[in-house]
Structure 1
Amino acid sequence: MKRILVAVDGSDTSLKAARMASDVALRFGAKLTLVHVVPKLLLPPDVYGLTIAEVEKEHRAYADALLEKAVKALEEPGLDVSTTVLYGSPAEAIAEEAAAIDVGMVVVGSRGYGAVARMFLGSVSDRLVHISSKPVLVVR
């Protein structure tokens, strides 16, 4: 296993999933890639009083900060961690990233939160299990 992909959204469950994935990565000498998906806008940007570029900039800044916090929470000697921001529908974006040849498995929390994740109530992990070409570990 060369790389483990972990979806993080800042929820306790996703951080628990990241910690479990880091244990697996250390045991098997795998790299860890933390990903956060910036979903498509549910409402037009003018509803927010912003331009599309401003909304995208805010989403990217949030994603970068969230990933940085997750990396700091996982500081382990010998752990090789990278981060990636994906865009689109969460389950589909994660499955597409996981299709890379060097990804051995995907780890995801059973439930997340956030503006969009609240709507899914665990359906991202459920959908990912069904569409991913790689094994998916769902952490509760």
Structure 2
Amino acid sequence: MIFTKILIPVDDSRHSENAISYGSELAEISGAKVIIIHCHRPVPTGLGDPNFQKAIDHETRESYAILEKHTAVLKAKNIEFDEKIIGGSIAKSIKTVAETEGCDLIVMGSKGKSDLEGLVVGSVTHKVLHIAPCPVLVIK
């Protein structure tokens, strides 16, 4: 199967590093474009100014630092990519981006939870597996 767009959600974990590694290999093989996203936690709107803006700025700086580490791998391999930062529900954001961008595949890391523990805890990976509009490759 040839992929045209691969979505790779990342955080600051080794599991995301593994997902970038696998996802970039698949992109190289198929000539796919990569959409790399980082979802940060929502910032409460009730903080008021200037606290709300400071919190947004802080989340944005952290998000760009995380993305920069992962996009370095894509740049080194000359893989075409877009990067996005999104705040809010992580699983829903991943689904929305995959739909909006027309992604053929989502490659994401796993926290290494067992199936039973993941179902009880409701991990992001399990949520994405159930709502994704395309195949999901989970990387340990």
Asked whether the two chains share a fold, i.e. TM above 0.5, the reply is yes
- 1:103 matched to 2:103: yes
CA distance in 2, matches of 1:121, 1:38: 19
CA distance in 2, matches of 1:61, 1:28: 32
Cα distance, 1:121–1:34 mapped onto 2, change above 3 Å = farther
CA distance in 2, matches of 1:25, 1:5: 10
Match of 1:66 in 2: 66
Match of 1:79 in 2: 79
CA distance in 1, matches of 2:34, 2:105: 10
Match of 1:22 in 2: 24
Match of 1:117 in 2: none
CA distance in 2, matches of 1:2, 1:83: 16
Task: Tell me if structure 2 keeps the 8 A contact 1:10–1:70.
Answer: no
CA distance in 1, matches of 2:7, 2:131: 15
Gaps of 5+ in 2: 113-119
Cα distance, 1:86–1:111 mapped onto 2, change above 3 Å = same
Return the offset for 1:81: 2.4
Instruction: Write the mapping of 1:3-42 to structure 2, written as runs, cut at 5 A.
Output: 3-41=5-43
Task: Tell me if structure 2 keeps the 8 A contact 1:107–1:138.
Answer: yes
CA distance in 2, matches of 1:95, 1:51: 30
- After TM superposition, the structure 1 stretch with the greater mean CA deviation from structure 2, 37-46 or 3-12, is 37-46
Select the structure that is richer in helix.
2
Gaps of 5+ in 1: 113-119
**Quick one: percent identity of the two aligned structures?**
28
